[in-house]
Amino acid sequence: MLSAEEIHEIEAEAQHYPTREAVLIDALRIVQSHRGWVSDDALRDLAEFLHMTEADLDGVASFYNLIYRKPVGRHVIHLCDSISCWIEGYAGVRRALAARLGVDFGETTKDGRFTFLPIVCLGCCDRAPAMLVDGELHVHLTPDNIAGALEKYA
Ligand code: FES
């Protein structure tokens, strides 16, 4: 069941859109901000609230990299794996991140601190390689500077 707070926030966002369906990405984000991820139960309740099928809503939720359909760690790292980052040293950064975290893409560290995921081009190719941590952009990554970039995420 959606909470009163979630419903209030979704209704407030819905004012900015012409149809109820148009608010679905924001609605997914709102639910995720309250729960950390979007479970099957949350998806079912949200679909009902938006008058959509679960399958349609799941299709959208699964398409967007920033909507999580499985539990994630306290912080989420999205490492860009598109072409400019590949050219500028993505492979070394990925290896260094995986070694430092002890996990690979799709996994969460044992202490629940980080989930490590790939993402498509972040739109800052001139500063590649790049990653997001909780939506915050980090650029000009190297195997040597990633530890510093991660430090503040406790
Ligand atoms: S390819 Fe990585 S930011 Fe564009």
Cα 131 to averaged position of ligand 1 atoms, centre (Å): 9
Dist. CA 95–CA 106, nearest whole Å: 14
Cα 27 to averaged position of ligand 1 atoms, centre (Å): 27
Location of each CATH 3.40.30.10 domain in the chain: 75-150
Residue 114: pLDDT band by 50, 70, 90 thresholds?
very high
Looking at the predicted structure, is the pLDDT value of residue 21 above 90?
no
User: CATH assignment of 4-63?
Assistant: 1.10.10
pLDDT one-digit tens code per residue, 26-42: 999 999 999 999 999 99
pLDDT score at 110: 96
Cα 114 to averaged position of ligand 1 atoms, centre (Å): 21
pLDDT one-digit tens code per residue, 70-89: 999 999 999 999 999 999 99
Location of each CATH 1.10.10 domain in the chain: 4-63
Using CB distances shorter than 6 Å, the residues near ligand 1 are 80, 82-85, 121-122, 124-125, 128, 130
Report, at the CATH architecture level, how domain 75-150 is classified: 3-Layer(aba) Sandwich (3.40)
